[in-house]
Amino acid sequence: MKKLAFWALSVFLILSLISCGSKKSAEGTAEPEPPAVEETVEETIEETVEQGVSQAALDLALANMDNARQNAIDSDAEEYAPDFFDSLEEEYDELRKRAENGEDVAAECNDLAKRYEALAAYVKALDAKETIDDYELPPLAKAAYDKGSKDLDDFEAMFNDENASSDDLLAKATSAYASFKSVLVALYKDIAKDARADALEAKKDADSVKAGVSEKREYTRAVELFKKGDASYSMNGYEAACDAYDEAYDIFSTLYETISEKRAAALAAIEAAKKSVEESAQVAEEADLEAPLTGEVDGIEDEDAVLLEEDDYANPEDAEIYLSEELSAGGDAK
């Protein structure tokens, strides 16, 4: 029994020692830490998102700048304010180059867009003032006219001032246009009557070259616009009437110019053909004297031969559409 107990105790001690050695070995050997993959991926995602947002903002700024620039061009800024427009164009070209080279110029593009918008508003204000100056200014509109004029002067002084912001320029130009627009409202009745008279004269020119025959669709469109103007005028919609008359005037004028040019070219061709025929006739006459033809010759018709059937052309005057010279609004004949 003593031997059995001794051996059991020995086995227990050996197993205990083995177990302790195993724990120490496990505790003393540290496993290597995995690389911080999650942090690296997050940083990469953040950088990619930031780059995408930045590019989207730049693309939007460039598009806004292009739209504002086109509005300035459409307002005839090149004609009314060439110096101002050219200075903006220089900045535009520079920003475009920098953007193509990868620079983030979004903020500068947005600023230039406001300057283009300010220039467009300035030109509209100039155009409105030019129209107003052709009429007698109503007493009640004088204050608005004076304010608009002052805003224009301020805008011109501020445009090349480095301390003037694009927001300031836009505010001045917008204010000037709003002032003159309010004056135009008081004058639109007289302006519409003059616009109507101009459109009628343009129609007479178009009728003189038979535009109703050769360009019936555009001619009819102009007539319908003219009638639309009359309808607006009769309901005291003077501004809408003015717009319709102006558009009709533009179409009639374009028709007259285009058809006149074609007619001139056709007449020149006819004259050249006549000259060629006369020269050919002279050569033929000389040849006839030297070697006269006898008998019938293939390809040459008799002198009294009918080569073309007669055509009964419609009267071009029937294509003209009548428009009354008189206009009435609220029973007041004009």
Residue pLDDT, tens place only, 113-169: 999 999 999 999 999 999 999 998 888 899 999 999 999 999 999 998 989 999 999
For the cut 50, the answer to whether the pLDDT of residue 23 exceeds it is no
Max distance between CA atoms of the chain, in angstroms, equals 167
Please state, in angstroms and rounded to a whole number, the distance separating the CA atoms of residues 136 and 187.
9
Give the pLDDT score at 273.
Answer: 82
Give the pLDDT score at 323.
Answer: 82
Beta strands in the chain (DSSP E): 328-329, 332-333
Taking the complete model, does pTM exceed 0.75, yes or no? no
Give the pLDDT score at 333.
Answer: 37
Please state, in angstroms and rounded to a whole number, the distance separating the CA atoms of residues 216 and 200.
17
Token pair listed for 141: 């509109």
Mean pLDDT of the chain: 81
